[in-house]
Protein backbone atom coordinates (compact mmCIF):
# COMPACT_ATOMS: atom_id res chain seq x y z
CA UNK A 1 0.00 0.00 0.00
CA UNK A 2 3.03 2.32 0.26
CA UNK A 3 4.23 3.87 -3.01
CA UNK A 4 7.93 3.05 -2.94
CA UNK A 5 9.01 5.48 -5.61
CA UNK A 6 6.58 8.33 -4.87
CA UNK A 7 9.42 10.74 -3.88
CA UNK A 8 11.23 10.25 -7.19
CA UNK A 9 8.26 10.46 -9.54
CA UNK A 10 8.81 12.88 -12.44
CA UNK A 11 7.13 16.26 -12.25
CA UNK A 12 6.70 16.28 -8.43
CA UNK A 13 7.88 19.48 -6.68
CA UNK A 14 10.71 19.19 -4.20
CA UNK A 15 11.48 20.89 -0.92
CA UNK A 16 8.90 21.73 1.76
CA UNK A 17 5.95 21.53 -0.60
CA UNK A 18 7.04 18.10 -1.69
CA UNK A 19 7.61 16.96 1.92
CA UNK A 20 4.16 18.23 2.90
CA UNK A 21 2.52 16.42 0.07
CA UNK A 22 4.59 13.34 0.76
CA UNK A 23 3.54 13.38 4.42
CA UNK A 24 -0.09 13.80 3.40
CA UNK A 25 0.27 10.85 1.03
CA UNK A 26 1.79 8.73 3.78
CA UNK A 27 -1.16 9.54 6.05
CA UNK A 28 -3.55 8.55 3.29
CA UNK A 29 -1.63 5.34 2.78
CA UNK A 30 -1.75 4.60 6.51
CA UNK A 31 -5.51 5.22 6.52
CA UNK A 32 -5.93 2.92 3.55
CA UNK A 33 -3.75 0.36 5.27
CA UNK A 34 -5.90 0.50 8.41
CA UNK A 35 -9.10 0.14 6.36
CA UNK A 36 -7.63 -2.81 4.52
CA UNK A 37 -6.65 -4.46 7.80
CA UNK A 38 -10.18 -4.06 9.19
CA UNK A 39 -11.67 -5.56 6.01
CA UNK A 40 -9.17 -8.41 6.19
CA UNK A 41 -10.14 -9.20 9.79
CA UNK A 42 -13.85 -9.17 8.90
CA UNK A 43 -13.26 -11.37 5.87
CA UNK A 44 -11.18 -13.77 7.95
CA UNK A 45 -13.93 -13.95 10.57
CA UNK A 46 -16.55 -14.72 7.94
CA UNK A 47 -14.33 -17.31 6.31
CA UNK A 48 -13.56 -18.94 9.65
CA UNK A 49 -17.26 -19.19 10.51
CA UNK A 50 -17.92 -20.73 7.12
CA UNK A 51 -15.15 -23.25 7.75
CA UNK A 52 -16.57 -24.26 11.16
CA UNK A 53 -16.58 -28.04 11.31
CA UNK A 54 -19.83 -29.94 10.72
CA UNK A 55 -19.25 -31.66 14.07
CA UNK A 56 -19.26 -28.33 15.95
CA UNK A 57 -22.34 -27.07 14.09
CA UNK A 58 -24.14 -30.38 14.69
CA UNK A 59 -23.41 -30.32 18.44
CA UNK A 60 -24.75 -26.77 18.68
CA UNK A 61 -27.91 -27.68 16.71
CA UNK A 62 -28.43 -30.87 18.72
CA UNK A 63 -28.16 -28.90 21.97
CA UNK A 64 -30.83 -26.57 20.59
CA UNK A 65 -33.02 -29.67 20.08
CA UNK A 66 -32.32 -30.93 23.61
CA UNK A 67 -33.32 -27.57 25.08
CA UNK A 68 -36.70 -27.95 23.38
CA UNK A 69 -36.24 -25.24 20.75
CA UNK A 70 -37.65 -27.61 18.16
CA UNK A 71 -38.56 -25.11 15.44
CA UNK A 72 -35.09 -23.59 15.63
CA UNK A 73 -33.31 -26.96 15.56
CA UNK A 74 -35.49 -28.03 12.63
CA UNK A 75 -34.64 -24.89 10.64
CA UNK A 76 -30.94 -24.98 11.47
CA UNK A 77 -30.62 -28.66 10.62
CA UNK A 78 -32.48 -28.16 7.35
CA UNK A 79 -30.19 -25.32 6.35
CA UNK A 80 -27.06 -27.37 7.12
CA UNK A 81 -28.42 -30.31 5.14
CA UNK A 82 -28.82 -28.08 2.08
CA UNK A 83 -25.32 -26.67 2.55
CA UNK A 84 -23.60 -30.06 2.89
CA UNK A 85 -25.65 -32.41 0.72
CA UNK A 86 -23.28 -32.18 -2.27
CA UNK A 87 -19.95 -31.68 -0.53
CA UNK A 88 -20.38 -33.99 2.48
CA UNK A 89 -23.37 -36.37 2.13
CA UNK A 90 -22.62 -38.28 5.36
CA UNK A 91 -22.84 -35.17 7.52
CA UNK A 92 -25.73 -33.86 5.46
CA UNK A 93 -27.72 -36.97 6.43
CA UNK A 94 -26.97 -36.43 10.12
CA UNK A 95 -28.55 -33.00 9.85
CA UNK A 96 -31.50 -34.36 7.86
CA UNK A 97 -32.11 -36.95 10.61
CA UNK A 98 -31.97 -34.23 13.28
CA UNK A 99 -34.44 -32.18 11.25
CA UNK A 100 -36.77 -35.21 11.16
CA UNK A 101 -36.37 -35.72 14.93
CA UNK A 102 -37.39 -32.12 15.53
CA UNK A 103 -40.49 -32.64 13.38
CA UNK A 104 -41.35 -35.88 15.19
CA UNK A 105 -41.17 -34.20 18.60
CA UNK A 106 -43.37 -31.41 17.28
CA UNK A 107 -46.00 -34.02 16.41
CA UNK A 108 -45.63 -33.47 12.66
CA UNK A 109 -45.60 -37.15 11.76
CA UNK A 110 -46.57 -36.94 8.09
CA UNK A 111 -43.89 -34.30 7.52
CA UNK A 112 -41.31 -36.72 8.96
CA UNK A 113 -42.25 -39.33 6.37
CA UNK A 114 -42.24 -36.77 3.56
CA UNK A 115 -38.81 -35.48 4.60
CA UNK A 116 -37.25 -38.94 4.62
CA UNK A 117 -39.05 -40.41 1.62
CA UNK A 118 -37.48 -41.29 -1.78
CA UNK A 119 -36.07 -40.19 -4.20
CA UNK A 120 -33.44 -39.43 -1.56
CA UNK A 121 -30.54 -41.89 -1.63
CA UNK A 122 -30.26 -43.56 1.76
CA UNK A 123 -26.95 -43.18 3.61
CA UNK A 124 -24.49 -46.06 3.61
CA UNK A 125 -23.74 -45.48 7.30
CA UNK A 126 -25.63 -48.16 9.24
CA UNK A 127 -26.12 -46.01 12.33
CA UNK A 128 -27.83 -43.32 10.26
CA UNK A 129 -29.94 -45.92 8.46
CA UNK A 130 -31.17 -47.36 11.78
CA UNK A 131 -32.11 -43.86 12.97
CA UNK A 132 -34.07 -43.23 9.77
CA UNK A 133 -35.97 -46.52 10.08
CA UNK A 134 -36.73 -45.80 13.75
CA UNK A 135 -38.05 -42.32 12.94
CA UNK A 136 -40.19 -43.64 10.09
CA UNK A 137 -41.48 -46.45 12.27
CA UNK A 138 -42.42 -44.09 15.10
CA UNK A 139 -44.13 -41.68 12.67
CA UNK A 140 -46.14 -44.50 11.06
CA UNK A 141 -47.08 -45.79 14.52
CA UNK A 142 -48.35 -42.36 15.64
CA UNK A 143 -50.39 -42.18 12.44
CA UNK A 144 -51.72 -45.66 13.29
CA UNK A 145 -50.27 -47.09 10.09
CA UNK A 146 -49.27 -50.27 11.85
CA UNK A 147 -48.13 -52.54 8.97
CA UNK A 148 -45.81 -49.80 7.65
CA UNK A 149 -44.49 -49.10 11.15
CA UNK A 150 -43.79 -52.75 11.81
CA UNK A 151 -42.00 -53.16 8.49
CA UNK A 152 -39.64 -50.25 9.20
CA UNK A 153 -38.93 -51.26 12.77
CA UNK A 154 -38.29 -54.91 11.94
CA UNK A 155 -35.69 -53.77 9.42
CA UNK A 156 -34.04 -51.67 12.11
CA UNK A 157 -34.20 -54.59 14.51
CA UNK A 158 -32.51 -56.90 12.02
CA UNK A 159 -29.67 -54.39 11.55
CA UNK A 160 -29.24 -54.13 15.31
CA UNK A 161 -29.09 -57.94 15.60
CA UNK A 162 -25.86 -57.83 13.59
CA UNK A 163 -24.21 -55.13 15.70
CA UNK A 164 -25.42 -52.88 18.54
CA UNK A 165 -25.06 -49.46 16.94
CA UNK A 166 -25.68 -46.36 19.11
CA UNK A 167 -28.99 -45.79 17.31
CA UNK A 168 -30.41 -49.16 18.37
CA UNK A 169 -31.79 -47.75 21.62
CA UNK A 170 -33.99 -45.43 19.57
CA UNK A 171 -35.23 -48.46 17.63
CA UNK A 172 -36.34 -50.15 20.87
CA UNK A 173 -38.09 -46.95 21.92
CA UNK A 174 -39.94 -46.80 18.59
CA UNK A 175 -41.05 -50.44 18.99
CA UNK A 176 -42.43 -49.46 22.38
CA UNK A 177 -44.33 -46.56 20.80
CA UNK A 178 -45.84 -48.96 18.27
CA UNK A 179 -46.88 -51.33 21.08
CA UNK A 180 -48.42 -48.42 23.03
CA UNK A 181 -50.48 -47.39 20.00
CA UNK A 182 -51.70 -50.98 19.71
CA UNK A 183 -52.40 -51.07 23.45
CA UNK A 184 -50.00 -53.98 23.86
CA UNK A 185 -48.82 -52.66 27.19
CA UNK A 186 -46.73 -55.61 28.39
CA UNK A 187 -44.78 -55.61 25.12
CA UNK A 188 -44.42 -51.82 25.28
CA UNK A 189 -42.96 -52.05 28.77
CA UNK A 190 -40.44 -54.64 27.60
CA UNK A 191 -39.26 -52.46 24.71
CA UNK A 192 -38.97 -49.37 26.91
CA UNK A 193 -36.98 -51.36 29.47
CA UNK A 194 -34.65 -52.49 26.67
CA UNK A 195 -34.29 -48.85 25.64
CA UNK A 196 -33.54 -47.83 29.23
CA UNK A 197 -30.87 -50.53 29.67
CA UNK A 198 -29.27 -49.54 26.38
CA UNK A 199 -29.26 -45.85 27.37
CA UNK A 200 -27.63 -46.50 30.73
CA UNK A 201 -25.00 -48.77 29.21
CA UNK A 202 -24.14 -46.05 26.66
CA UNK A 203 -24.48 -43.07 29.00
CA UNK A 204 -27.18 -41.56 26.77
CA UNK A 205 -29.04 -39.28 29.19
CA UNK A 206 -31.66 -38.13 26.68
CA UNK A 207 -32.59 -41.69 25.72
CA UNK A 208 -32.65 -42.63 29.42
CA UNK A 209 -35.02 -39.77 30.22
CA UNK A 210 -37.41 -40.64 27.39
CA UNK A 211 -37.32 -44.33 28.34
CA UNK A 212 -38.29 -43.48 31.93
CA UNK A 213 -41.07 -41.16 30.75
CA UNK A 214 -42.42 -43.85 28.43
CA UNK A 215 -42.31 -46.44 31.22
CA UNK A 216 -44.28 -44.03 33.38
CA UNK A 217 -46.82 -43.50 30.61
CA UNK A 218 -47.16 -47.27 30.20
CA UNK A 219 -47.71 -47.71 33.93
CA UNK A 220 -50.47 -45.08 33.85
CA UNK A 221 -52.20 -46.89 31.00
CA UNK A 222 -51.99 -50.09 33.06
CA UNK A 223 -53.56 -48.07 35.93
CA UNK A 224 -50.48 -48.59 38.09
Residue-wise pLDDT tens digits, 38-65: 454 454 444 444 558 999 999 999 999 9
> What's the pLDDT tens digit per position in 168-188?
999 999 999 999 999 999 999
Burial 15-37 (b: 16+ CB within 10 A, else e): eeeeeeeeeeeeeeeeeeeeeee
Rounded CA gap, 212 and 89, in Å? 34
Best CA proximity match to 171, nearest among 191, 144, 145: 191
Of residues 42 and 106, more confidently modeled: 106
Query: Which pLDDT score is estimated for 188?
Result: 97
Rounded CA gap, 65 and 74, in Å? 8
> What's the pLDDT tens digit per position in 131-172?
999 999 999 999 999 999 999 999 999 999 888 888 999 999
Rounded CA gap, 100 and 132, in Å? 9
What percentage of the chain exceeds 70 in pLDDT? 76
Question: Does the CA dihedral 98-103-106-110 come out positive or negative?
Answer: negative
Best CA proximity match to 210, nearest among 183, 176, 164, 162: 176
Amino acid sequence: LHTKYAGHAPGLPRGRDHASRNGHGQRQNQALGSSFLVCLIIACGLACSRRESPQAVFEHTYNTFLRGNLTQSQEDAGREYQRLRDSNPEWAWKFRILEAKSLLWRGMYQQVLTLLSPPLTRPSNRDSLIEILALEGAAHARLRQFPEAEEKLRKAESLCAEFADPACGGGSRALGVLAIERRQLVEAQRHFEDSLSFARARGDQFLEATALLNLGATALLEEH
